[in-house]
Amino acid sequence: MRLAAIELRDITKAYGPHTVLRGINLAVAEGTFLVIFGPPACGKSVLVRIVTGLEKPTSGQILLRGNEAANQDPAQRNIGYVPQSFALYPHYRVHDNIAYPLTLMAVSKSEIEPTVRQVAEQLGIGPLLSKYPDQLSGGEKQRVALARGIVKHTEIYILDDPLAGLDFKLREQLFDDLKRMQESLKATFVYTTSDPLEALALADQIAVLDSGQIVETGPIQSVYLRPQHIRTMELLGFPPANRLTGAVHTRSGQVWCHTSLFEFPLQPSPSTSFPSELEKVDLVVRPQDIIFEVEGQNDLLKCPAEVILREDLGAEVIVHLKVGETSLVTIVPHAKDELIAEDEVTIGVRPPAVAIFAPDTGQRIGQGAARYV
C-alpha cells in the first residue's frame, strides 16, 4: 500500500457562525491524481488552501507524508500551488515569473535557468520567456501560472480550478499537458473543479465534496459507474442526471418501486439491508440511459413522453421531455436525431440504470432488477 502523501483528519473550518467544512477525512496516496469535485461554493478552495497552509483549520489534523503539518507555514510544507487566478507579476517577464519560487528558495542561477526552460518547453511556452504578462493571451497566461506552480521540484502539487474561464479546446490541450506532467514527475496532484468533464478526464481518484462534506471517494471509473451517494450521481456527468421520487412496497415476496412513470422490481445493494416498505425514495437516471429505440425491447421500462425542447450541440442533441408533471433531460447522437422528430415519443430505461437512494441519508440502497419482463 502506498504511503499517504496527504491525510486530513476531521478537518472543520468556520468563519464565525458560518461553517464551510464539516469533519473532512481524506487520504491521498503518493503518486495519485486526485480531483476534488463539487458544485461552486461547496468548500473546495478553502480545503486546498488549508492543505497549503494559506488557511488555518478551525479543528482537525493535517499530515503531509506522515508528518504533522498544522503548525507549518506554507514555505515549510513545500507544496507546488497554482491558484484560481493567474496572479502573475506584471512587471516581471515570463521567465522571471516562472523562476520566482526558485528565487525565493535561494536556488542558484545556474540551476534556475535550465529548470525554467525545461518546464516552459513542457508547457509549450518556451518562445514566450522574454515577454511580459500583458503581451500574452489568456491561455498563455494560464500556462505560465501552471509553469510557476510546478517549477520547484516537490512531491505534492495543488491546482485550484486552474483552467476556469478558458475555452474548451484550450482546456482539452491542457488536460493532456497536466496528465503527462503528473506521470513524468511521479508526484501527487490534487486538482479542484466544478466541471464534471474535467473531473472525468483528469482523475485517477475522486473526492466528491458537497455542502462542506465529502460524500464519496474512490477510483474515478467505479465512482462514476456505480455512485454510492445521490449527489455524486446528480453532479458527475453532463447533462446533470434526472431525479425522481417514488415509493417501495412488497408484493408476492418481491420488493417493487413505484413512480409516476413506471413500476419495477428492485435489486438491493449488497451492503444494504433493503426495507420492504418505504413511503418515499429518490431515484436517479442519467440522461444517457433514457432510450428512444424501444420497439421490440421487452426489457425496458417504457412510457410516453412529450418533447419540449431540443438543444443542438452539433455532435449531440440535448432533449428536454415532459412525462405528466415530471421533467426529464436526455441526450442523443446527432446521427439519431430522427428518433425525436415527433413531439410525442416513447422512451425506455433499463431497470439497472435506475439507482435508488435513501431520502434521509442520500446513500444508495439499490437499483432496478436486471431481469425485468
The DSSP string of 90-108 is TTS-HHHHHHHHHHHTT--
**Cα gap 178→162, rounded to integer Å:** 11
What's residue 275's pLDDT?
63
What's residue 293's pLDDT?
81
What's residue 190's pLDDT?
97
Helices assigned H by DSSP within 203-313: 220-225, 230-235
What's residue 298's pLDDT?
81
Q: Report the chain's terminal Cα–Cα distance, integer Å.
A: 45
What's residue 152's pLDDT?
85
**Cα gap 307→203, rounded to integer Å:** 35
Nearest to 269 by CA among 226, 237, 216, 220: 226
**Cα gap 352→50, rounded to integer Å:** 40
**Cα gap 126→141, rounded to integer Å:** 13
**Cα gap 52→54, rounded to integer Å:** 6
What's residue 172's pLDDT?
79
What's residue 218's pLDDT?
97
Domains, the chain, in order of start with CATH, read: 4-227 (3.40.50.300), 242-368 (2.40.50.140)
What's residue 126's pLDDT?
93
Render each residue's pLDDT in the chain as its tens digit; 373 residues.
567 899 999 999 999 999 999 999 999 999 999 999 999 999 999 999 999 999 999 999 999 998 999 889 998 898 999 888 878 999 999 999 999 999 988 888 889 999 999 989 888 899 999 999 999 988 888 889 889 988 988 899 999 998 876 777 777 778 888 888 888 888 999 999 999 999 999 999 999 999 999 999 999 999 999 999 999 999 999 899 999 999 988 887 788 889 989 889 888 776 666 666 788 999 999 999 999 888 878 889 999 999 999 998 888 899 999 998 999 999 988 777 777 777 889 999 999 999 999 988 999 988 988 765 5
**Cα gap 228→357, rounded to integer Å:** 8
**Cα gap 270→27, rounded to integer Å:** 25
**Cα gap 308→340, rounded to integer Å:** 11
Q: Which residue has the cell 510546478?
A: 150
